[in-house]
Each structure stands twice: as C-alpha cells, then as structure tokens.
Structure 1
Amino acid sequence: MSVAAMVSVQLGMAISVTLIEGLGVDGVAWLRLAWAAVLVLLIVRPRPATVVRSFTRTSFATCVLLGVVTSGITLLFLAALARIPMGTASALEFLGPLGVAVAHGRGRGRLVWPGLAAVGVLLLTQPWTGAVDPVGVLFALGAAACWASYILLTQRAGDAVAGIDALAVSMPVAALVATVVVGPGVSALLTARTLLIGLGLAILLPLVPFVLELLALRRLTTAAFGTLMALEPGVALLAGWVILGQRPDLLGVVGLGLVVMAGVGAARGGGRTASLPLEQG
C-alpha cells in the first residue's frame, strides 16, 4: 500500500507541474484539494449523527489538524517544484519522514543517519554553485515539516477513527485552508480542460495516496513507514526525468542515494505490535 501510494504521489506531482504555468502554484494546489474534498464527501457521505458517534473531541481535532498539514504539504511542495527540480524537492521533503524515523527508531546507530542525509542534501542542492533557488529549498523544507506532522497525525487519526472516516474531516479542511490561501482569483483561470485534469490529479494525489497511507499506518510503526518512504525521492527522480525531462547530474544521483540510504538505515523496523482492524474506532 505504501509503495503504491508513493508512485501515485509522484505521478500526480509530475503532472501538476505541467499545469503551473496556466493556473499558478496556488491554483493547482487548490484545484487538487478541492476535487479531493468533493470526492471524499461523495464516497464517505458522512451524516451528522454518524460523525457525532464516530469522533471524540480529541479525534475530531486531530483530523482538523491533519487537514491543515495536508494543505501545507500540497501548497509548499508545489511552490518548491516551481523553483527547483522534482528529485531535489522530494529529497528535501523526505527529511520530514526521515526525522520521524530517527525519532521513533531504535538503537544508537540511528543517530548516524541524519549526518548521512545532510551530506546527501548538500550534494543534491550544491549550494556552492548557486544553481538551486534558496526560496525553493525553504518551501521544500516547510513541506518536510508538514509531512512529518502528517505521518504522526495520520497514524493517530487512523487509530482513533473507523475506516476512512477521518478523511471526511481532513480533506474538506485541507480544501478550505487552500481556498483561504488562494482566494477567489483562481476561478477566472479555470477551464473545462483544467477541471477535468484536476479531477484526475485529485485521484492520483491526494485521494488514493492518503487512503492507502491511512490504512498502511494502521499496520506499520511510524519508523517502518518512514523507511518505506525512503524510496519516494528515487521515484520522484525518475518521474521528473521521464515526464519533465529533469535529468540529474552525477552528484545529484549520489546525493539522492545517500538520502535514501539514510532513510533505510534510520528505521528498519517492521509491523506494529498490534495492528488495528479497519472498523475499530
């Protein structure tokens, strides 16, 4: 489930980049999140009485926070993609899951991996050349912080709320946050074509990945999930190369490899000691 989620994420991201010129970064993010919220509400069809039974005050607040960080991931990462290559942005964003893996992993050896990741990031960004936009790097690091929060909140929401009901709260909240950030100006840029592409993107990202990750985190520790996510920068590099023509140089490939190695080494754990059934609240 985790591997399928990351493939869906990177395909969606690569296609999103092709829409940025017409809609702008914020417009593409809003379009994806708005469609995802509509689809979730159609699929889950939450009723007020059901919501009252399914959520406690704490679990509802957790899902609201999950929606906020979901919007943050989308807005910040797309802003990074508008400025820096996809493989570089994904590797920087991966520092979020890496931090979770290090914090929740076991053994003293895990403290070595942040240093390895730092070397990898330096080789990827190559700040001594001045080729990478520092604002794009900051956007990617902001997305990393949101992704770390997303992993922790997703597992907490998945443990507390039955099925995928958590998405019935988090996705509309994410869409509302994006709407506040973007404002009404994007509506003038929408066409029938972009609306249809946005619908497809909402399925690729965030709907399918978030459902798969929500279910995967019922069965995995956050450390194990962070380890699996180490594959994502590699998938992003391939997607950026094939779809966007962003061919990396040798140092970039080596740097990406170091970040992936750091992620795998930080947490080699397995499943959770007690995975939750889908209908457990």
Structure 2
Amino acid sequence: MYLGAAVAVWLFAELPPSAVVWLRQLGAAAVLLAWRRPGRAAWRGRIFWLAAIFGMMTAAMNLAFYESIHRLPLGTAVALEFVGPVLVAAFGSRSVRDIGALVMVVSGVVLIADVRWAGSTLGVLFALSAAALWAGYIVLGKRVATAGLGVDGLAVGFGVATVVLSPLALGTGPAWNSPRLLVLGIGVGILGTVIPYALDQVVLRRMGPARFALLLALLPVTATVIGLVVLRQVPTLLEATGILAVVAGLTIRTREAGPRQDPL
C-alpha cells in the first residue's frame, strides 16, 4: 500500500493529487473488473448499493490521504490517519489497559500534530478526514466481506467510484501524453488498491473489525520505513516519538484483545 503511496508522491510533481487518485481508481477498477467479472446479481438491489457506497467511501478516503501526503511526510500522515482504526478498535472498550492504550495513542497523535500543525494545517485536516473515512472503510468493509461480495464487491464499488469521480480526470491531461505517467498512475492502483484491499477482504471474512483494526498497528511503521527508504523522508525526533507512541498503544491494546473472538 505505501509503496504505491510513495510512487504517488513522485507523481505529484507532474499531476495534482486528485488526478493521481482518479488514475488509481481507474487502474484498480479495470484490473478488478477484468479479473472478477461480477455477475448480474452484484449490480442489482441492496448488494449493488452496499458495494457502491463502499467504493465511494474508499475513494474519498484515498483522496483525503493523497492530499495529506502532498503536504506532510508519509509516516506523519499515516500516523494521523491511524486515528480511524484506533476508534474502531477502542469502541466499547472499558478496561484500564484499553484506556492506557488510548492515552498513548492520543499522546502520539498530539506530538505529531504539534510538529506539523503550524507548517501545514490543511495537511493535518486532510489526514484526520482520511482517518474518519478509514474507520468507515473498516466497518463497511466487514459488511461487504460477510455479505458474500468480497473482491467482487471491490470491483463493483471501484467501478462506480471511477465513474462518479470522473470530473477529477480533467487533471490527468499530461498522463495521456506520457506512457510513463500513465503506467505509474495505473501501477499505483494495483499496488495501493488491488493487492492490499483484496487481502483486506480475505482477512475481514475471518475476524471482526476491531481485531482487524488492531492489526493495522503495523502500518505506521511500514509507512515510515517506506518514506525513509524510497522518499528520503527522515522523521524528526518528535515525529518518531509520536509514531512509536501510536504503535506502542495499539500493541498494548492488541495483547488485551488477542484471546477474545470478535463477533462477525
């Protein structure tokens, strides 16, 4: 996912984030529809609307996230976006360990936000918007998985989102005259959407949304490493401390949640 995001950051030098998001949607939808070829039932009634809303929510999440990484380092944006999974994992929690974990996570987010708020208020707001949409992605994604849609639901949803967001294609002009930009844009769709979101559906069919959200504690670390290695984005001491606090808080919460079985 974040290797795809790193490629997207490279594209921002030549295309606006909204255009990169649309190319990502186009590439993901084309690959998934060609691969899965959903039957007529997937395009009708409640099943269709569930997939369509899920696709639109995912596209909006990606748009907010790309706007944030256009203004913030990758690891910083992901740590802020991680508030969404934290809220899903913490929903209904009452134990002392849960509260301690949330305090650590919130402290980490505050450290990161304090570092970047003055420099890019809009970047922080986009990252937090992506966080809210990510929470919705987890909850709705579970419904898509258990409804029997799975990857077919992704194909339908991303196809609908590509059409609805077609006005964003107005910013993709340079890509159609550059095979390199077009390949990279569609490649972002495969790296950042097809592979990770298809795997998400496999995992969500086997566990509840709270436990799935906890597993996502690995993502801020992954994003920071990718940002460092691929984009040469070295985190400051405060940012690194904040990211570690987020991951540590979720690790504490994971140990508490591990033995429990989330309802489907």
TM-score (norm 1): 0.85
CA–CA separation in structure 1 for the residues paired with 2:23 and 2:150? 26
Q: 1:230 aligns with which of 217, 240, 259?
A: 217
Which residue in the other structure is 1:5 paired with?
Answer: none
CA–CA separation in structure 2 for the residues paired with 1:183 and 1:199? 13
Q: Does 1:217 align with 2:209?
A: no
Contact 2:151–2:201 under 8 Å retained in 1 = yes
RMSD across aligned positions (CA): 2.1
Q: Does 1:208 align with 2:191?
A: no
Contact 2:84–2:135 under 8 Å retained in 1 = yes
CA–CA separation in structure 2 for the residues paired with 1:165 and 1:80? 29
Contact 2:22–2:162 under 8 Å retained in 1 = yes
CA–CA separation in structure 2 for the residues paired with 1:273 and 1:116? 23
Q: 1:58 to 1:264 in 2, by over 3 A?
A: farther
Q: Does 1:148 align with 2:140?
A: no
Which residue in the other structure is 2:53 paired with?
Answer: 65
Q: 1:76 aligns with which of 64, 68, 72?
A: 64
Q: 1:234 to 1:65 in 2, by over 3 A?
A: same
Contact 2:79–2:109 under 8 Å retained in 1 = yes
Amino acid at match of 1:45: R
Amino acid at match of 1:82: H
Q: 1:87 is paired with a residue of what secondary structure?
A: helix
Amino acid at match of 2:187: G
Q: 1:148 to 1:195 in 2, by over 3 A?
A: same
Q: 1:261 is paired with a residue of what secondary structure?
A: helix
Q: Which structure 2 residues correspond to residues 119-198 of structure 1 after superposition, within 5 A?
A: 119-127=107-115, 131-180=118-167, 182-190=168-176, 191-198=178-185
Contact 1:35–1:199 under 8 Å retained in 2 = yes
Contact 1:125–1:132 under 8 Å retained in 2 = no
Contact 2:26–2:186 under 8 Å retained in 1 = no
CA–CA separation in structure 2 for the residues paired with 1:151 and 1:107? 23
Which residue in the other structure is 2:229 paired with?
Answer: 242
Q: Does 1:14 align with 2:15?
A: no
Q: Does 1:265 align with 2:256?
A: no
CA–CA separation in structure 1 for the residues paired with 2:180 and 2:165? 21
CA–CA separation in structure 1 for the residues paired with 2:98 and 2:48? 34
Q: 1:176 to 1:104 in 2, by over 3 A?
A: farther
Q: 1:73 to 1:237 in 2, by over 3 A?
A: same
Segments of structure 1 that go 5 or more residues without pairing to the other structure are: 1-8, 276-281
Q: 2:18 aligns with which of 23, 26, 33?
A: 26
**1:163 Cα deviation from its structure 2 partner:** 4.5
**1:274 Cα deviation from its structure 2 partner:** 7.4
Contact 1:63–1:167 under 8 Å retained in 2 = yes
Q: 1:173 to 1:113 in 2, by over 3 A?
A: farther
CA–CA separation in structure 1 for the residues paired with 2:134 and 2:164? 16
CA–CA separation in structure 1 for the residues paired with 2:20 and 2:241? 31
Which residue in the other structure is 1:6 paired with?
Answer: none
CA–CA separation in structure 2 for the residues paired with 1:272 and 1:44? 31
Contact 2:214–2:254 under 8 Å retained in 1 = yes
Q: 1:24 to 1:74 in 2, by over 3 A?
A: same
Percent of aligned pairs with the same amino acid: 36
**1:176 Cα deviation from its structure 2 partner:** 2.5
Which residue in the other structure is 2:186 paired with?
Answer: 199
Segments of structure 2 that go 5 or more residues without pairing to the other structure are: none
Contact 2:210–2:262 under 8 Å retained in 1 = no
**1:13 Cα deviation from its structure 2 partner:** 0.6
Amino acid at match of 1:193: R
Which residue in the other structure is 1:42 paired with?
Answer: 34
| Worse-matched range after superposition: 96-105 or 169-178 | 169-178
| Worse-matched range after superposition: 63-72 or 144-153 | 63-72
Which residue in the other structure is 2:100 paired with?
Answer: 112
TM-score (norm 2): 0.91
Contact 2:16–2:171 under 8 Å retained in 1 = no
**1:231 Cα deviation from its structure 2 partner:** 1.0
**1:199 Cα deviation from its structure 2 partner:** 2.5
